[in-house]
Structure 1
Amino acid sequence: METGAYGAAGAGGSFNLKQFLMRPESILRVASAIFALIVFACILTDGYPSDTEGRVFCIFNHNSDACHYGVGIGTIAFLGSLLFLGLDAYFPTISNVAQRRHIVLADLGFSALWSFLWFVGFCFLANQWASTNLSDIHIGQDNARAAIAFSFFSILSWIPLAFMAYKRYKLGVDDFNPNYVDPSLDTTSPYPPYPDAVGDNYQRPPFTNQADTGDGYKPPLY
């Protein structure tokens, strides 16, 4: 884990592309984008065959909602993965801690939500495929199975992303100490406060041109 606010190095550091791409977050985001691309591409390619009369139907038990759901969450997951990958590259250059916090919270919310949506999508597609009459399906069976499989793989990629975002959020919260007290105002400190903090009336003597000789001697006037 990198050091700095919300798990990123301080602003102003140099960007290393190789090191960035080798980060676990980057690998998982690229994998999530690829999985999502496979899901909605498989459905769009062979997920809408036609019957003998030329009518188009969804390959998953003739349930158009299943196809729409897979394409919808797959497309948004693909775009979201690329968006947060770009934000990861931009994140270390952000000096505003509040902006970093908003990005981490957005990452946490999106990753957790899509982990759940992919789980629902996997169960939905698998259930509809189990109820599909395969005798009506002449092409596209392999693509349908691939969409179900990569929906499951997407769950395995988004859950770790949500966990990493949560760790970054906790790291930023722990770095901020809400119990901090100014030492000059801390009445429980065992050390004596500064004189200014207790209202000491001590003042420096004003500047004077008269020399203090200590024996009453006054210099002669010319």
Structure 2
Amino acid sequence: MDGFQAYGAGKAGGVFDPQTFFRQPQTIVRVLCWLFSIVILGCVANEGYTNRPEDFQEFCIFNRNQNACSYAISMGTLCFLCSTAFLALDVYFPQISGVKDRKKAVMADIGVSALWSLVWFVGFCFLANQWQVSQIEDIPLNEGAAAARASIIFSFFSVFTWAVQCLLAVYTFKLGADSVTFSGEYIDPNQQEALEEAPPTEA
């Protein structure tokens, strides 16, 4: 039972090892998703708006479509928060003692990762299309062009990082389904030792 694995992690109560954690493929991909969301958010929020000398109001550099900039900023913010939350869950995951709770966490990871992959695919298509039809005169001195291209590129990358994250979660789910030989709760090692050391009660 020492080698027991429940959905990719051993029994609850183990010591957290940062080196092992950050070397896991799941963690690496999760960090990439987190970084890409920051890049997209930063590019559009900082350089996604401009104005021509004769205008007095800023407009979105993506074909003057406010929805394009709003989409990128909103999704970048939500993706950043979601990635942060799941990174925290990954850290806490080995401490979850219930097999059913671990299963729910892995299933949530599968669903959320698949959803974000779809969201960024839509975002990539939307931003790329709006940038393609943008007017040259709306971007004086090519201001913000690099940021626009970067947000499009990293939206494209995000489609694959979240898809890979989904596949890793599916693998973890299958691993857990194959390795768990019983259902319900399993006892924390510390609790198990306490039960073994406790004297038998008299009838």
Bin the TM-score by the shorter chain: 0.7 to 0.9
Structure (1 or 2) with the greater helix fraction: 2
2:128 corresponds to which letter in structure 1? Answer: A
2:76 is the counterpart of 1:74: yes
- C-alpha RMSD over aligned residues: 1.6
Once the two structures are superposed, residues 87-135 of structure 1 have per-residue CA deviations (whole angstroms, 9 ceiling, x without a partner) of: 1111011111121111111111110000111111111100100000122
1:10 aligns with: 11
1:89 aligns with: 91
2:41 is the counterpart of 1:37: no
Q: How many residues align?
A: 177
Once the two structures are superposed, residues 130-163 of structure 1 have per-residue CA deviations (whole angstroms, 9 ceiling, x without a partner) of: 0001222021111001100111111121111000
Q: How does 1:203-218 map to 2 (within 5 A)?
A: none
Structure 1 93/148 Cα, relative in aligned 2: closer, same or farther at 3 Å?
same
2:50 is the counterpart of 1:49: yes
Task: Give the secondary structure class of the aligned counterpart of 2:57.
Answer: coil
TM-score by length of 1: 0.76
1:121 pairs with one of 120, 123, 127: 123
Structure 1 107/134 Cα, relative in aligned 2: closer, same or farther at 3 Å?
same
* Alignment gaps of 5+ in structure 1: 179-222
2:155 is the counterpart of 1:154: no
The structure showing larger relative contact order (alpha-carbon pairs under 8 Å, at least 6 residues apart) is: 2
1:173 pairs with one of 155, 174, 177: 177
For 2:29 and 2:95, locate their aligned partners in 1 and report how far apart those are by CA, in whole Å: 22
For 2:83 and 2:174, locate their aligned partners in 1 and report how far apart those are by CA, in whole Å: 22
Structure 1 176/21 Cα, relative in aligned 2: closer, same or farther at 3 Å?
closer
Once the two structures are superposed, residues 29-88 of structure 1 have per-residue CA deviations (whole angstroms, 9 ceiling, x without a partner) of: 111111110101110101111232211211100111111111111111111111111111
For 1:18 and 1:6, locate their aligned partners in 2 and report how far apart those are by CA, in whole Å: 20
For 2:18 and 2:157, locate their aligned partners in 1 and report how far apart those are by CA, in whole Å: 26
2:68 corresponds to which letter in structure 1? Answer: A
* Alignment gaps of 5+ in structure 2: 183-203
Q: State the shift of 1:174 in Å.
A: 2.8
Identity %: 46
For 1:3 and 1:30, locate their aligned partners in 2 and report how far apart those are by CA, in whole Å: 27
TM-score by length of 2: 0.82
Structure 1 4/176 Cα, relative in aligned 2: closer, same or farther at 3 Å?
closer
Q: Computing the radius of gyration over CA atoms, which structure comes out larger, 1 or 2?
A: 1
1:41 corresponds to which letter in structure 2? Answer: G
For 1:17 and 1:159, locate their aligned partners in 2 and report how far apart those are by CA, in whole Å: 25
Q: Is the 8 A contact 2:6 2:180 kept in 1?
A: no
Once the two structures are superposed, residues 2-32 of structure 1 have per-residue CA deviations (whole angstroms, 9 ceiling, x without a partner) of: 9611111111111111111111111111111
For 1:78 and 1:161, locate their aligned partners in 2 and report how far apart those are by CA, in whole Å: 15
2:104 pairs with one of 99, 102, 108: 102
